[in-house]
């Protein structure tokens, strides 16, 4: 939610009425930050990060898969018994506490 509201604020500053601006900014922020740092602004605030199952950074392909599914919302709402969302299962990633 932190990342979404941040992107919403940026879109309001830009002043565009394009309905794809906020999801586009969100996807761009998520992809760039997770693929390079392993976390978004919201993740950092709450002390979590995204990692591959082997503990390394997700990389470009896994982050792209995860980003597309997070933007679609529904996969992020479906969890398994280990509390891993469908977006993390599909990308081979998980959320860790920092």
6 domain-assigned: no
* Interior angle at CA 57, CA 27 and CA 31, nearest 5: 10
Domain that holds residue 50: 27-97
Average pLDDT of each block of 10 consecutive residues along the chain (98 residues)? 94 89 96 96 96 94 95 87 90 93
Q: Which helix (H) or strand (E) holds 52?
A: strand 48-52
Please check whether residue 18 lies inside any domain of the structure: no
8 falls within a domain = no
Kindly state whether residue 10 falls inside one of the protein's structural domains: no
Query: Number of structural domains, the chain?
Result: 1
> Is 49 among the domain residues?
yes
DSSP state of 38: S
In a domain, 2, yes or no: no
Tokens standing for 46? 């709450």
What pLDDT score does 88 carry? Answer: 94
Please indicate, yes or no, if residue 22 is contained in any of the structural domains: no
1 within a domain of the structure (yes/no) = no
Structure confidence at residue 98 (pLDDT): 84
């Amino acid at each position: 939610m932190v990342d979404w509201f941040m992107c919403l604020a940026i879109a309001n500053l830009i002043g565009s009425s394009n309905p794809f601006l906020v999801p586009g900014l969100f996807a761009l922020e998520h992809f760039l930050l997770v693929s390079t740092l392993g976390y978004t602004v919201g993740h950092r605030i709450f002390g979590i990060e995204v990692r591959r199952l082997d503990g390394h950074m997700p990389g470009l392909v896994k982050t792209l898969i995860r980003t597309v599914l997070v933007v679609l919302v529904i996969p992020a709402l479906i969890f398994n018994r280990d509390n891993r969302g469908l977006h993390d299962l599909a990308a081979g990633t998980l959320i860790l506490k920092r």
